[in-house]
């Protein structure tokens, strides 16, 4: 009984309960048909949100005002870079992935450079950066119609017993992220900065370096996400990352991470990503129109955040 109680006290459990409820509602509607396929599809799509969500989570945990708005542009550019470097060639997969990673990391580093050199709020820095990245992407990716190498597309869609391999790898990655957050100096420093940047600095945390690392990490994850998306959807395009601006912030907050910073939650990112993907699946299964689907998605996000409530701590 106590174990159930302590489980319910975890902030991330609610996003999983929500995902489960949505899944049950959908299979009740279909009469049990396609229950397993739905989980497979949800896992493969949630992966992309989880990867950028973890990056966004580290950034948001740095404290109020820290958010990476350049992720969609970053994903778009990295997907084009990956496809161009791989050039449909199986032997270039690793090089292409590295190129996407480097491209994303460079964007993240540039973001922090703007924040640090101009001392502007991260929202505006990443926003200005995203305008410029978007232009580079439009110019660079114009008419780009390179298919991913067959080996890479197969890898991105590879399943073992109905479980996407990418999802298994992402679970391993998130376990690593959770360990980094709770057990490593880097993660503890991020949490400390989010709780009180001045106290963290006085305690000897190298604030500048940790913030630089965090924005670079978020950028790198956006880059790798772009490459994987291009593999999964068999091609890059400028708009491929558009939905991940809202999604990355939404999964972080629904997953129980504090927007005020200093409190992060890795499992919640998975729960929230599954919840959002299954929610879309449910609304599609119910056969509602695009307008109603958007309307309900929005209302449910507002409803969830209202139910979860804000932080009592002063901002």
Partner 1 sequence: MRPEMTAASLDTAARTSAERGALARARLLRGLLPALSLALVLLAIAWLNPRAISYFGFSLMLNLAIPIALATIAQMFVIAGNELDLSIGTFVGFVGCVTATWLKDAPLIGAVILLGSIGVYALLGALIHLRNLPSIVVTLGMSFVWQGLAILVLPKPGGKAPDWLLGLMAFKPPFIPFPIIAALLIGLIVHFGLMRTSYGVILRGSGGNPAALGRAGWSLLKTKIVLFALAGLFGVLSGMALIGITTSADANIGNGYTLLAIAGVILGGGEFVGGRVSPIGAVIGALTLALAASPLLTFMHIPPDWQVAANGAILIIVLAARVLISRKER
The binding site for partner 1 (CB under 8 A) comprises 64-65, 67, 69, 114, 117-121, 123-124, 127-132, 134-136, 138-139, 142, 246, 249-250, 253, 259-260, 289-302, 305-306, 309-312, 314-315
Nearer to partner 1, 86 or 107 (CB): 107
**Distance in Å, CB of 138 to partner 1, minimum:** 5
**Smallest distance, partner 1 to C-beta of residue 249, A:** 6
Instruction: Considering the complex, state which of residue 102 and residue 300 has its C-beta at the smaller distance from partner 1.
Output: 300
Q: Which two tokens stand for residue 109?
A: 């580093």
Residue indicated by tokens 């996000």:
301
Task: Tell me the closest approach of the beta carbon of residue 111 to partner 1, in angstroms.
Answer: 12
- Cβ neighbours around 3 below 10 Å, total: 7
**φ, ψ at 142 (rounded to 5°):** -60, 125
Q: Are the C-beta atoms of 100 and 224 separated by less than 8 Å?
A: yes
Rounded CA gap, 78 and 223, in Å? 5
Q: Which lies closer to partner 1 via its Cβ, residue 163 or residue 300?
A: 300
Q: Mind giving me the DSSP string for 211-236?
A: HHHHHHHHHHHHHHHHHHHHHHTTS-
Cβ-based nearer residue to partner 1, 7 or 313: 313
Least distance (Å) from partner 1 to the CB of residue 306? 6
* Gap between the Cα atoms of 288 and 296, Å rounded: 10
Nearer to partner 1, 95 or 120 (CB): 120
Smallest gap from residue 303 Cβ to partner 1 (A): 8
163 secondary structure, DSSP code: E
């Amino acid at each position: 009984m106590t174990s159930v109680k302590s489980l319910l006290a975890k902030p991330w459990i609610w996003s999983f309960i929500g995902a489960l409820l949505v899944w049950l509602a959908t299979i009740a509607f279909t009469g049990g048909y396609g229950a397993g396929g739905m989980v497979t599809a949800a896992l493969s799509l949630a992966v992309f949100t989880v990867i950028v969500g973890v990056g966004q989570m580290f950034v948001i945990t740095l404290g109020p005002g820290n958010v990476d708005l350049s992720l969609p542009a970053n994903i778009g550019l990295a997907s084009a870079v990956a496809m161009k470097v791989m050039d449909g060639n199986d032997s270039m997969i690793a090089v292409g992935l590295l190129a996407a990673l480097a491209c994303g990391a460079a964007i993240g580093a540039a973001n922090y450079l703007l924040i640090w050199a101009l001392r502007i709020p991260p929202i505006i820095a990443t926003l200005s950066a995203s305008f410029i990245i978007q232009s580079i992407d439009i110019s660079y990716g114009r008419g780009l119609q390179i298919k991913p190498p067959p080996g890479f597309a197969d890898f991105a869609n590879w399943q073992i017993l109905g479980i996407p391999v990418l999802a298994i790898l992402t679970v391993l990655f998130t376990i690593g992220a959770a360990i980094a957050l709770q057990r490593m100096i880097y993660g503890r420093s991020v949490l400390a900065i989010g709780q009180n940047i001045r106290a963290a600095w006085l305690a000897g945390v190298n604030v500048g370096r940790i913030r630089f690392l965090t924005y670079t990490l978020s950028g790198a994850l956006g880059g790798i996400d772009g490459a994987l998306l291009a593999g999964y959807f068999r091609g890059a395009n400028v708009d491929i990352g558009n939905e991940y601006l809202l999604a990355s912030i939404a999964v972080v907050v629904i997953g129980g991470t504090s927007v005020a910073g200093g409190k992060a939650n890795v499992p919640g990112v998975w729960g929230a990503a599954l919840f959002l993907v299954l929610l879309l699946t449910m609304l599609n299964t119910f056969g509602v129109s695009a307008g109603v689907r958007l309307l309900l998605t929005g209302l449910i996000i507002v409803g969830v955040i209202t139910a979860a409530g804000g932080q009592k701590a002063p901002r």
